[in-house]
Amino acid sequence: MQTMLARTILISALLLSAARAQPAPPSPAEADQLSPQYAPALVPVPPNGCAWASRSFSDGAAFCVADKVMQICAAGKWVRESASEGCRGALANTR
């Protein structure tokens, strides 16, 4: 009997409790007035250079991202060279 009474009280409390919802997203007009919460850091990039992981690289910079895959900065854009022999398994020796 007490178990049934406890269940009834618990269910009643759950049903009668105030529901809480997330606030509605701001309208476009309100969003323009709000200051941004997060602003990415601007990295000074040389002419025709590239940015990667918050660091700047000059034109012609290259590094290996996988075995035989090289990332090259060319004319301000990152280009992947997938059949590059420049890496020669460099990532296999990083353990």
| Tens digit of each residue's pLDDT (9 = 90 or more) over 42-53 | 778 888 888 888
The answer to whether position 28 is within a domain reads no
The answer to whether position 19 is within a domain reads no
The answer to whether position 54 is within a domain reads yes
Q: Quote the number of domains for the chain.
A: 1
Distance CA 17, CA 12 (A): 8
Distance CA 56, CA 40 (A): 14
Taking alpha carbons only, the member of 71, 32, 68 closest to residue 55 is: 71
Q: Which residue has the higher pLDDT, 89 or 76?
A: 76
- Which stretch of DSSP H or E encloses residue 16? helix 2-16
Task: Give the pLDDT score at 11.
Answer: 77
Q: Which residue has the higher pLDDT, 32 or 2?
A: 2
DSSP letter for 39, please.
-
Per-residue confidence band for 22, with pLDDT thresholds at 50, 70 and 90 = low
The answer to whether position 69 is within a domain reads yes
Q: Which residue is associated with the tokens 């997330």?
A: 22
AA identity, residue 7:
R
Structural domain boundaries, residue 61: 50-85
The answer to whether position 58 is within a domain reads yes
The answer to whether position 61 is within a domain reads yes
The answer to whether position 93 is within a domain reads no
Distance CA 88, CA 42 (A): 34
The answer to whether position 22 is within a domain reads no
56: exposed, middle or buried (C-beta count within 10 Å: 0-12, 13-18, 19+)?
Answer: middle
